[in-house]
Chains A and B, each alone.
Chain A
Amino acid sequence: MKYRIMSDKKDFYILGIESSCDETAAAVVKNGREVLSNIISSQIDIHTLYGGVVPEIASRKHIEKINQVVDEALKEAGMKPEELDAVGVTYGPGLVGPLLIGVSFAKAFSYTSKVPLVGVNHIEGHISANFIENPDLEPPFLCLIVSGGHTHLVRVKDYGKYEIIGMTQDDAAGEAFDKVARAIGLGYPGGPKIDKVSKEGNPDAIHFPRAHVGDSEYDFSFSGLKSAVLNYLNSMEMKHEDIVQADVAASFQKAVVDVLVQNAMKAVDRYGDKTFAIAGGVASNSALREAMRKACEERNVRFCHPSPVLCTDNAAMIGAAAYYDFMAGSRAGLDLNAVPNLRLGER
């Protein structure tokens, strides 16, 4: 396949495609920073019926939506397929069935339009959402990625160069939100619901444990906290006492936020980075944002966070990450496969 000579070209346009979980998304991003379109088709309504994402149903929905979402992203950006400089697609981590829709579509689209293909790591996409939100942000910086599937504390050493310094040893932070929300009758999705109801509750009403992982000071563990909440609910039921939903939610949320802030700031202090960023779905949580902002202010560290539409799974962040991989020479072959357990920084 022949690629255009790009020596005297100034601007690069990348189509990002994302289908790793329950959002079908496509976006056109200019030079890794400027979003020309950002289309997201969410399946949340259907998965709410099942209390969580059902992979087979998600896969079926992705394939029904992928063309509309891509067409809309191109139309809104005013671009034709052959005018693109690259197509970037999430190939992991995520659910294999859903990932395969984006990967198979993107390979065929890139092949037919003779536009190069770049495989993108979903978590690196989340981190890159900060490049869109903060056009002047440059590595190195520290980043905490918190979502339904991931909890990673990462040093972004350079574009495309990552060092994982902490991660969850069991549940992801967002997963704990979902499970606790279900247990206290708030339902799915847990994150936004707990955030909302917590505003009415007392975060110091119940003291839930702050789990620290012995052998790795930056790692996280949330399954113990989840069990503590469930035990508390059980004990109240045994005593025939009513629970105050908002207090449980607020106290649980505070326990999560405390640990996230504590570990993140320990890393900030240790590595001396002057910029700290958060990313991922849980980065929309208002209590987490506020606590991180305060902690960063105290240390005179710049705090970056994407706006909510860039925190949730989206393709603009994939287009941004793809840009830096593309400039570094990364190209995916026609045999690109979905890699459900793809590690950060793996190439």
Chain B
Amino acid sequence: MKILAVDSSGLVASVAILEDDVLLSEYTVDYKKTHSQTLMPMIDEIVRMTELDMGSLDAIAVAGGPGSFTGLRIGSSTVKGIADVLHIPVISVPTVDALAYNLVGAAGLVVPIMDARRSQVYTGIYEFNEKNELETIEPQCALAITDLLDKLNNIGRNVTFLGDGVPVFREKIAENLKVPFNFAPAHMSRQRAGAVGALAEIYYKSGKYTDASEHKPDYLRKSQAEREREEKMAGEKNA
């Protein structure tokens, strides 16, 4: 099956075309240009390079969140526009799962960390079993970095970190983590649409996909206005 995969959940913009177990093309840019300007030209580039007939796509995959709210929506709106014309399903791959899948085969725990601001990270705790399948120990969530490190100390196993949270929290990790740890090398340390697409194929086979109209990003966080309103209402209730 042919899948177009897109990840614009963070600073990185990444697009890929996969056919069964072959990665036909992958294009990743980690540069401060808005995804609105880069994503479609990047898709066009790999489509032309591989002489892809868009009509031959079976599904379209997207890093469905968490991540930058705007980045997620640019990616999701793009795949929703493509899927609307082609009438193909959308496979929403959890962003942190896809990041972990960059390190398929790694020994020990794989812990992606994305900078979520306010001293929090979007993270999850994973490992790979003997069949190289991704096993989730802690599903993706928004967590204070200190809480994450406590959890990892409690589990007590070796950890490999990756993600754009690494440069932000490197020192904090070194100070507080009591288990052996290391960081993923450059070519595996950020979002890659190839990993999104490879996981998407597994998801697709287990029936985890939606119609374009049903797809929406999974932000893992409410908007600030909603949070403040809920706090206010809870406060009034308690008063």
Q: Which positions in A face B, CB cutoff 8 Å?
A: 49-50, 54, 56-57, 59-60, 63-64, 66-68, 70-71, 81, 96-97, 100-109, 111-113, 334-338
Contacts and interface: CB of A to CB of B under 8 A. Distances in A.
A57 B213 CA distance: 18
B212 interface: yes
A81 B225 contact: no
Contacts of B74: 100, 104
B116 interface: no
Given A50-B229, A97-B70, A106-B81, A63 B36 contact: no
Contacts, number: 104
Contact of B77 (A66, A68, A113, A335): A66
Contacts of A336: 36
Contact of A103 (B36, B79, B85): B36
Contact of B78 (A59, A67, A107): A107
Interface in B211-231: 212-213, 216-217, 219, 223-226, 229
Contacts of A106: 81
Interface in B186-200: none
Interface string B36-80: 111111011000000000100000000000000110011011111
Count chain B CB atoms within 10 A of each CB in A63, A70, A97, A113 and give the residue with the most.
A63
B86 interface: yes
A67 B41 contact: no
Nearest to A67: B213
Interface of B: 34, 36-41, 43-44, 54, 69-70, 73-74, 76-82, 84-86, 212-213, 216-217, 219, 223-226, 229
B41 A105 contact: no
Q: Is the interface of A mostly helix, strand, loop or mixed?
A: helix
25 contacts: A49-B229, A50-B225, A60-B216, A63-B216, A68-B213, A70-B84, A71-B213, A81-B85, A100-B77, A101-B77, A104-B78, A105-B77, A105-B80, A107-B40, A108-B78, A109-B82, A112-B82, A112-B85, A112-B86, A113-B85, A334-B41, A335-B36, A335-B37, A336-B36, A338-B36
Nearest to B84: A67
Contacts of A60: 73, 216, 219, 223
A50 B82 CA distance: 34
B73 A100 contact: yes
A337 B36 contact: yes
| Shortest 6 CB-CB contacts between residues of A and residues of B | A108-B81, A104-B77, A67-B213, A56-B223, A334-B40, A109-B81
A109 B225 CA distance: 31
A102 B80 CA distance: 11
